[in-house]
Amino acid sequence: MTLKYRQLGNTDLRISEVSFGTWGIGGDWGTVSDKVSLQALHTAMEQGVNFFDTADVYGNGHSEELLAKATAGRESEIYIATKFCRKGDINDPANYTEEAVRSYCEASLQRLKRDRIDLYQIHCPSFDILKQGLVFEVLDKLKAEGKIRYYGVSVESVEEGLFCMEQTNVSALQVIFNLFRQKVSQQLLPVAHEKGVGILARVPLASGLLTGKFNHQASFESSDHRSYNSNGEAFNVGETFAGLPLAKGQELSRELAWIADGKDNMTRAALRWILDHDAVSTVIPGFKNSQQVLDNLGALDVPSFSKAEMSRLELWYKENVHAHIRGSY
């Protein structure tokens, strides 16, 4: 496979169009092995992946520590995006003061064993906090000091994303975007493209629903968010199964089985669909092992969807999916 690279908005970062999120190797997706996780990270980098997304709460910082080990000696060529704010109360303004944000930043730098964070993201804060705007002033200061290279926001809704793009120094938005969550393509991607704001597409496989591998008896470990957050008990329901009830998601996934035709499997087809949107800078599926890394990268070798197929999928979403999504988006 030949990995391609896209510009992250108006930044000087050219990142692999398929990159990886590290929530899964932190431990919130059931049991994982550090040895297997590190091997998978090396597999990704051997294939040309140069961008990884993490957060200080993924395994309580464990994902950041694993990335430090995997990328040691390659800090200048492997870019890392991390996130902050969810170690505290996301609704409390005190969680976003210069003192608090600086503390979060320094702790991540220490775990990552780096002098600078390539992309520092506010991790799904409340909309009220974004509207107050003070956290952006803090991030501007950290950027001026060289602690962070660029900053962005991981948002839950289109409305939040549109608001953030009014903040002139936001370089990237991380959004839930997949075949079950197409609203982003209609309302947010065109604006991001116009303004030169990078887009990181998260939850691209709807927590595994879009792999087509879940049967009726699918069950998950108690430590897996697909068990403890299936109805939004712990955090925004959109982060789990893209906001769909599991049974409905399985039903809709079966309706989509046709997308695998000529594209190897549903996983690769679902990722290809996201990449067929030019405004997307990178898609960041999760992984637990090298085989999943390689399977996700296989999306690069399958053909794009035709205009007719894209229209069919958009209409299907509007008629069959949109009404079933829970949570603000």
Of 194, 172, 193, nearest to 13 (Cα)? 172
Contact 50, 79 (CB under 8 A): yes
Contact present, 22 and 112 (Cβ < 8 Å): no
Q: Compute the chain's Rg from CA coordinates.
A: 18
Neighbour tally for 113: CB within 10 Å? 14
What gap in Å lies between CA 171 and CA 9, rounded to an integer? Answer: 7
Q: Is residue 34 helix, strand or coil?
A: helix
Retrieve residue 232's tokens: 């939004």
Residues 6+ apart with CB under 8 A from 85: 95, 96, 104, 122, 123, 124, 125
Catalytic-role residue among 5, 58, 150, 228: 58
How many beta carbons lie within 10 A of that of residue 281, not counting itself?
Answer: 27
Distance from first CA to last CA of the chain, Å, rounded? Answer: 34
Residue 5 a catalytic site member: no
How far does CA 193 lie from the centroid of its chain? Answer: 18
Element spanning 72, H or E:
none
Please report, to the nearest 10 degrees, the dihedral formed by the alpha carbons of residues 11, 272, 203, 71 taken in order: -50
Dig out the tokens for 185 from the structure: 């393509």
- Alpha carbons 286 and 41: distance in angstroms, whole number: 11
Q: Which stretches within 148-265 are classed as H helix?
A: 158-164, 183-187, 189-195, 225-228, 246-255
Lookup: tokens for 159: 């409305």
Active site residues: 58
